Amino acid sequence: MGYKDVKFPENSLFLITGGAGFIGSNLCEALLRMGYSVRCLDDLSTGKLENIQPFFENENFEFIEGTIVDFNTCNTACKDVDYVSNQAAWGSVPRSIEMPLKYEEINIKGTLNMMEAARQNNVKKFVYASSSSVYGDEPNLPKKEGIEGNVLSPYALTKKVAEEYGRLYSNLYGLETIGLRYFNVFGRRQDPYGYYAAVIPKFVKALLNDEAPIFNGDGSQSRDFTYIENVIEANLKAMISSSDVQGEAFNIAYGGQVSLIELFEELKGLLNKDVSPIFGPERVGDVKHSNADISKAQTMLGYNPSYDFYAGIRLVTDWYKSNLK
Cα-based angle 33, 34, 38 (whole degrees, multiple of 5): 80
Q: What's the CA gap between 198 and 262, in Å, rounded?
A: 16
- From the candidates 83, 155, 303, 307, which is the catalytic residue? 155
Q: What is the DSSP letter of 213?
A: P
Taking Cα atoms as reference points, which of 162, 181, 141, 153 lies closest to residue 286?
153
Strand partners, 179: 128, 249
Give every CB contact of residue 274 below 8 A, 6+ residues apart in sequence: 268
Active site residue 310: no
Amino acid at 105: E
Dihedral angle over CA of 136, 140, 146, 148, nearest 10: -20
Contact 31, 40 (CB under 8 A): no
Give every CB contact of residue 67 below 8 A, 6+ residues apart in sequence: 43, 45, 73, 106, 110
Residue 252's H or E segment, with its range, is: strand 248-252
Would you put residue 267 in left (φ > 0), alpha (ψ -120 to 50) or beta? Answer: alpha
- Catalytic residues, by residue number, are 155
